[in-house]
Amino acid sequence: MADRPDARAEVGPRLLHPVEVRGARVAYAKATALRMASSPHSMIAMTLVLWAISSNVVTPVLGAVVGLGICAYVERHHRAEAWAFIPRRRQHPGRDEPALWSAAGKLLPLCALAWALGAYVSVLGVREAPTLAGSMAVGALAALALAELAALLWDRLAPRDRRVDAAPAVVVTTSVVGSLLVLATGIVTILDRSSWEQSGFLVGAGVLVAYVTLLLLLRLVPRSIRCVPASVLPA
pLDDT at 48 over 50: yes
Mention every residue, 6+ apart, whose C-beta is less than 8 A from residue 140.
44, 47, 204, 205, 207, 208
161 assigned to some structural domain: yes
3 assigned to some structural domain: no
Q: What is the pLDDT of residue 124?
A: 77
77 assigned to some structural domain: yes
Mean pLDDT along residues 179-194 = 92
204 assigned to some structural domain: yes
* Structural domain of 173: 9-232
Q: What is the pLDDT of residue 6?
A: 44
Mean pLDDT along residues 91-118 = 86
Q: What is the pLDDT of residue 8?
A: 42
Pairs from 213-218 (Cβ < 8 Å, separation ≥ 24): 214/69, 214/72, 215/38, 215/40, 215/72, 216/164, 218/72, 218/73, 218/75, 218/76
Q: Assign 3-class secondary structure to 45-64.
A: HHHHHHHHHCCCCCHHHHHH
Q: What is the pLDDT of residue 218?
A: 84
67 assigned to some structural domain: yes
Mention every residue, 6+ apart, whose C-beta is less than 8 A from residue 224.
83, 84, 88, 91
pTM, entire model: 0.82
1 assigned to some structural domain: no
The phi, psi pair for 91, rounded to 5°, reads: -75, 145
pLDDT at 129 over 60: no
Q: What is the pLDDT of residue 40?
A: 94
2 assigned to some structural domain: no
102 assigned to some structural domain: yes
Longest dimension (CA), the chain: 87
Question: Which residue(s) pair with 91 in the sheet?
Answer: 16
8 A C-beta contact, residue 113 and residue 45: yes
Mean pLDDT along residues 57-73 = 91
- Give the pLDDT confidence of 148-161 residue by residue, as tens digits: 999 888 878 877 66
pLDDT at 85 over 60: yes
Q: What is the pLDDT of residue 11?
A: 52
Instruction: Provide the number of structural domains found in the chain.
Output: 1
5-14, 36-45, 109-118, 184-193: lowest mean pLDDT where?
Answer: 5-14
